[in-house]
Amino acid sequence: MADLVRFDVATEPRCPFALGRGALAELAQLESRYSSSFAVTDATVAKLHGQRIGLATRAHLLLPAGEAAKSFAHLEALLEAMARARLDRQSLVVAFGGGSIGDTAGLAAALYMRGIAVVQCPTTLLAMADSAIGGKTAIDLAAGKNLAGAFHSPIAVLADTDTLATLPAEQVASGLGEVLKCALLAGERELAFVEQHAESLRAGDSAALARAIEFCARLKASIVARDPRESGERKQLNLGHTFAHAIEHVAGYGRIPHGVAVGCGLALACAASERASTLADQELAARVRKILAHLGLCSSIAELEARYACTLDRAALVEAMALDKKNRSGVVRLVLPIAAGDVARDVFALPQDLRELLV
């Protein structure tokens, strides 16, 4: 097994993060500390990578792939399966898959017997770079994305980069939306890296992806340690997400991948920042649009509509943004870029302004 990148996320409990080829080999030793374990994955991951964790010989449940897993019906089915497997308070849930599997399995672990341990074993770029870290778990409601959830920190994250070799191009692109978000938050060095290596990242180059995952994971770990419950600084990680969650909701969950919607949301956030006179770096908006194009991502609602053969009703998008979790008193509050490494949080946005942005 190659040397792994290791660091701790200073949450409660402390969460070791291991990144690299063969990281999943550490799962067995970790499981030995628990009375039993139960794996949650989907059929695609089970077929491609199930042998890496001995899935065929362990208690497990297959959920649908993607956003379809994040429903009350599937959460209930998972909890019942955990009960049939006789999990107890010293048991461990193994979330083995992309962000949706991590979200649903993590929420089930938070609820079962009022909370049991979960280890996140992400198999997608998006999950390794973002969603597996920090303990946010959730399912979707008809009214909006991730509206029913809990904070439940994993006891470890094992990000085995060998699993990235089987990712479809669209899932690589989706992960790159979150990578670009993190680069914008981290600063000029990281943004320049994504800019200069956009073609390699898009092509799935393993070295470029590993470096991107590391800086994303370290950034998120440092922010989460300082603000585990998203009361202040952690809100910046929602850059682009108010737009993205509305896009996913209006398109129908699962039609437009999350990170693809985030990419478009970043371009819209830059446009909103220009409009609000918040953007100090006057070159940033055009730069972000150019990087998005090189990453194979969309920078406008019209581009998304053309690529995914859907209609994103502008009034419905504004209405969906009104249900964002960061809002107060019914007023949409955005995270807006100022420059690379600097953002403004809780910027009010009026419905009329939002409608004019959604082009």
Which one of the listed residues 52, 230, 235, 249 is annotated catalytic? Answer: 230
Identify the domain boundary among 166, 193, 215: 166
The sign of the dihedral angle between the CA atoms of 113, 146, 171, 309 is: positive
The per-residue pLDDT for range 131-182, each reduced to its tens digit, is 999 999 999 999 999 999 999 999 999 999 999 999 999 999 999 999 999 9
Is residue 157 located within the same domain as residue 182? Answer: no
Is residue 158 located within the same domain as residue 253? Answer: no
Give the model's pLDDT for residue 328.
75
Q: Annotated catalytic, 14?
A: no
Is residue 100 located within the same domain as residue 173? Answer: no
Q: Annotated catalytic, 114?
A: yes
Is residue 241 located within the same domain as residue 228? Answer: yes
Is residue 259 located within the same domain as residue 274? Answer: yes
Give yes or no for a contact between 102 and 127, defined as CB atoms under 8 angstroms apart. yes
Give me the chain's average pLDDT, please. 96
Dist. CA 217–CA 123, nearest whole Å = 14
Using a 10 angstrom Cβ sphere, with 0-12 exposed, 13-18 middle and 19 or more buried, the burial of residue 252 is: exposed
- Which one, of 203, 287, 27, lies nearest residue 16 by Cα? 27
Q: How many independent structural domains does the chain possess?
A: 2
pTM of the model: 0.95
Using a 10 angstrom Cβ sphere, with 0-12 exposed, 13-18 middle and 19 or more buried, the burial of residue 2 is: exposed
Percent of the chain scoring above 70 in pLDDT = 99
Q: Annotated catalytic, 152?
A: no
Which of 6-15, 188-197, 263-272 is predicted with the least confidence, judged by mean pLDDT? 6-15
179 Cβ contact partners less than 8 Å away, ≥ 6 residues apart: 125, 129, 194, 201, 212, 213, 216
Q: For the residues 307-328, what does the mean pLDDT come to?
A: 91
Q: Annotated catalytic, 178?
A: yes
Identify the domain boundary among 166, 200, 228: 166
Could you tell me the CATH number of the domain that includes residue 225?
1.20.1090.10
Q: For the residues 298-315, what does the mean pLDDT come to?
A: 97
Is the pLDDT higher at 331 or at 185? 185
Q: Annotated catalytic, 76?
A: no
Which one of the listed residues 70, 152, 220, 235 is annotated catalytic? Answer: 220
Give yes or no for a contact between 332 and 346, defined as CB atoms under 8 angstroms apart. no
Give the model's pLDDT for residue 2.
60
Which one of the listed residues 21, 70, 136, 211 is annotated catalytic? Answer: 136
Is residue 341 located within the same domain as residue 195? Answer: yes
Percent of the chain scoring above 90 in pLDDT = 94
Which one of the listed residues 197, 211, 218, 245 is annotated catalytic? Answer: 245
- Two structure tokens written together for 275: 């409009």
Is residue 205 located within the same domain as residue 292? Answer: yes
Tell how far CA 266 is from the center of its chain.
14
Is residue 318 located within the same domain as residue 275? Answer: yes
Placement of tokens 């199930």 in the chain: 50
- Two structure tokens written together for 119: 């280890």
CA distances from 99 to 174, 177, 214 (A): 11, 14, 17
Is residue 143 located within the same domain as residue 227? Answer: no
Q: For the residues 79-84, what does the mean pLDDT come to?
A: 98
The per-residue pLDDT for range 194-249, each reduced to its tens digit, is 999 999 999 999 999 999 999 999 999 999 999 999 999 999 999 999 999 999 99
Other CB atoms within 10 Å distance of the CB of residue 329 = 5
Which one of the listed residues 114, 229, 283, 328 is annotated catalytic? Answer: 114
pLDDT at 297 over 60: yes
The per-residue pLDDT for range 93-123, each reduced to its tens digit, is 999 999 999 999 999 999 999 999 999 999 9
Which one of the listed residues 152, 181, 241, 249 is annotated catalytic? Answer: 241
Could you tell me the CATH number of the domain that includes residue 13?
3.40.50.1970
Dist. CA 147–CA 263, nearest whole Å = 21
Q: Annotated catalytic, 248?
A: no
Q: Annotated catalytic, 238?
A: yes
The per-residue pLDDT for range 252-289, each reduced to its tens digit, is 999 999 999 999 999 999 999 999 999 999 999 999 99
Is residue 212 located within the same domain as residue 264? Answer: yes
Dist. CA 197–CA 194, nearest whole Å = 5
pLDDT band at 290; cut points 50, 70, 90: very high
pLDDT at 333 over 80: yes
Coil, strand or helix at 298: coil
Other CB atoms within 10 Å distance of the CB of residue 61 = 19
Is residue 130 located within the same domain as residue 34? Answer: yes
Dist. CA 138–CA 142, nearest whole Å = 13
pLDDT at 327 over 80: no
Identify the domain boundary among 148, 166, 184: 166
pLDDT at 329 over 90: no
What are the φ/ψ torsions at residue 197 (nearest 5 degrees)?
Answer: -115, 20
Is residue 32 located within the same domain as residue 147? Answer: yes
Residue 37 structural domain: 5-166
Beta strands in the chain (DSSP E): 5-9, 15-20, 37-42, 60-63, 92-97, 117-122, 136-141, 144-151, 156-160, 332-339, 342-349
Which one of the listed residues 238, 248, 249, 333 is annotated catalytic? Answer: 238
